[in-house]
């Protein structure tokens, strides 16, 4: 180890002795950050700055229920770093939302935007709720009140939300409207992932899944597995998973398994994805689909497959099941599906893991395109959006692979090194405002 890295190591991670919780998403992210920072010999002051979120907001969100009662929900918005531009990051509505999770996701967004080299910092938000128990009216009131509670941070130049788990175009339209009512004029660029009719970008809804398809295709080529007929198993059949399934199927891959929270479907010869999508349209969930074997989500993860694409929630590949993973390639559609302890096991097994900050960056990339189009007031056609996305994803994939080979590290650490260095450069150039 060089002198500079041992100096960095002695300063980095003052709390290293604390027993880390493998499932704590912030710790999980930070353990990778620490390692990459050490390899970069990041100066200790900058290390300390980048280890802390810029701003953490906790709000109470009172909502009038349809039965006349008032319920109070808790909402968060974390701006992790905005040195490279406005903070960018989705909003999720979920019972599992915690401040630690939102912090981790906000940090991830910082590294992700830097990795694909778009001029954004990182943010994330969430409201602790179960949207499936809320009526449309209740969901609208919740969204508008949450928006009003965090309105000081929002803005096209400061903080730009997007959809995430359990939020969609409809929710983004309410946020945009609430913000615009406060500003007394229409501000389309305050959120991305909006309906196309009100300033959304063509291709945004499919962008994350499309990005996953692109990196899965590039990974297969890199590893030397023919794309045609390659077996793919996908966990999660929402925005990311279902689009990735559709595009990989169109590409000629064999999507052998898909799942949602009701369970998984398995068909070794390959599922007829258009038929599964049709089923979902009519039945909402995968369970009950007749032309495949029903397996559990746990079983899906350990299937014999070429590509495993977790696209549901975090912490699904852990030290408990990593040794049983049989996939040659993992493409992380979800944020944080693999814990740091699992990484070590997968490394030993030689699994080619495309990390979340690269694999699911297609969404934020087209969000960036949407923000650019809104600000310019000039909208692009779908082939333009898709070809620009293709270029950014392929270039970023190659940069990460090159970095990994140069430093003899896995793709995750290489991705962190690239992005941390990009954020660090801007911090050094800007200096510290006293």
- Shortest Å distance, C-beta 61 to ligand NAD: 20
Q: Report how far residue 48's alpha carbon sits from residue 110's, in angstroms, rounded to the nearest whole number.
A: 15
Q: Report how far residue 371's alpha carbon sits from residue 320's, in angstroms, rounded to the nearest whole number.
A: 41
Write the CA distances from 41 to 25, 49, 153, 339, 415, integer angstroms.
24, 15, 33, 24, 16
Does position 192 bind ligand NAD by CB under 6 A?
no
Name the residue nearer to ligand NAD (CB basis): 305 or 360.
360
- Give Cα 157 distance to the centre of its chain: 21
Residues 6+ apart with CB under 8 A from 421: 40
Name the residue nearer to ligand NAD (CB basis): 335 or 339.
335
**Annotation says 291 is catalytic:** no
In this chain, which of 297, 365, 396, 419 binds ligand NAD, going by CB under 6 A?
297
Q: What is the DSSP letter of 155?
A: B
Q: Would you say 98 and 313 are in contact if contact means Cβ atoms under 8 Å apart? A: no
Does position 335 bind ligand NAD by CB under 6 A?
yes
Does position 134 bind ligand NAD by CB under 6 A?
no
Contacting range for ligand NAD; rule: CB under 6 A; set: 47-55, 172-180, 256-264, 397-405: 256-264
Does position 259 bind ligand NAD by CB under 6 A?
yes
- Shortest Å distance, C-beta 240 to ligand NAD: 4
Per annotation, catalytic residue among 124, 261, 291, 408: 124
Contacting range for ligand NAD; rule: CB under 6 A; set: 59-67, 75-83, 128-136, 161-169: 161-169
| Closest-approach residue to ligand NAD (CB) | 238
Which uninterrupted H or E stretch holds 265?
strand 263-266
Look at residues 129, 152, 153 and name the one whose alpha carbon lies nearest to residue 141.
129
Alpha-carbon dihedral sign for residues 378, 383, 386, 387: negative
In this chain, which of 75, 122, 161, 163 binds ligand NAD, going by CB under 6 A?
163
Contacting range for ligand NAD; rule: CB under 6 A; set: 28-36, 195-203, 269-277, 327-335: 327-335
- CA atoms lying within 13 Å on the CB side of residue 268: 2
Q: Which residue ranges make up the site for ligand NAD (CB under 6 A)? A: 163-166, 208, 235-241, 259-261, 297, 311-313, 333-335, 360, 363
């Amino acid at each position: 180890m060089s002198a500079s890295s041992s100096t960095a190591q002695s300063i980095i991670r003052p709390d290293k002795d604390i027993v880390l919780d493998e499932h704590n998403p912030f710790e999980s992210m930070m353990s990778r950050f620490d390692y990459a920072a050490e390899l970069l010999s990041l100066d200790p002051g900058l290390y300390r700055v980048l280890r802390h979120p810029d701003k953490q907001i906790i709000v109470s969100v009172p909502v009038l229920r349809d039965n006349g009662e008032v319920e109070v929900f808790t909402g968060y918005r974390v701006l992790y770093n905005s040195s490279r531009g406005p903070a960018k990051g989705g909003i999720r509505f979920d019972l599992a939302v915690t401040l630690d999770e939102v912090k981790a996701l906000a940090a991830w967004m910082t590294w992700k935007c830097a990795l694909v080299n778009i001029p954004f910092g990182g943010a994330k938000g969430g409201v602790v709720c179960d949207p499936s128990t809320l009526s449309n009216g209740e969901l609208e009131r919740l969204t508008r009140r949450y928006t009003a509670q965090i309105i000081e941070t929002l803005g096209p130049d400061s903080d730009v939300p997007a959809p995430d788990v359990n939020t969609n175009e409809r929710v983004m339209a309410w946020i945009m409207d609430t913000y615009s009512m406060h500003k007394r004029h229409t501000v389309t660029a305050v959120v991305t992932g909006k309906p196309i009719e009100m300033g959304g970008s063509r291709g945004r809804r499919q962008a994350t899944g499309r990005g996953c398809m692109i990196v899965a295709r590039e990974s297969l080529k890199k590893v030397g597995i023919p794309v045609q007929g390659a077996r793919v198993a996908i966990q999660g059949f929402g925005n990311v998973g279902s689009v990735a399934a559709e595009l990989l199927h169109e590409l000629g891959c064999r999507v052998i398994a898909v799942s949602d929270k009701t369970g998984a479907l398995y068909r070794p010869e390959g599922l007829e994805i258009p038929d599964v999508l049709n089923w979902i349209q009519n039945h909402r969930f995968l369970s009950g689909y007749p032309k495949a074997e029903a397996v559990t989500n746990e079983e899906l993860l350990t299937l014999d497959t070429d590509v495993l694409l977790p696209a549901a929630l975090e912490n699904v590949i852990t030290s408990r099941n990593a040794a049983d993973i049989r996939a040659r390639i993992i493409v992380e559609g979800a944020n944080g599906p693999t814990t740091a302890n699992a990484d070590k096991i997968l490394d030993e097994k030689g699994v080619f893991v495309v990390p979340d900050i690269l694999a699911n960056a297609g969404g934020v990339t087209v969000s960036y395109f949407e923000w650019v189009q809104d600000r310019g007031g000039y909208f692009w056609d779908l082939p333009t959006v898709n070809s620009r996305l293709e270029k950014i994803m392929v270039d970023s994939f190659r940069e990460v692979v090159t970095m990994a080979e140069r430093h003899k590290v896995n793709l995750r650490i290489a991705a962190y090194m690239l992005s941390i260095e990009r954020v660090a450069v801007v911090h050094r150039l800007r200096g510290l405002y006293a």
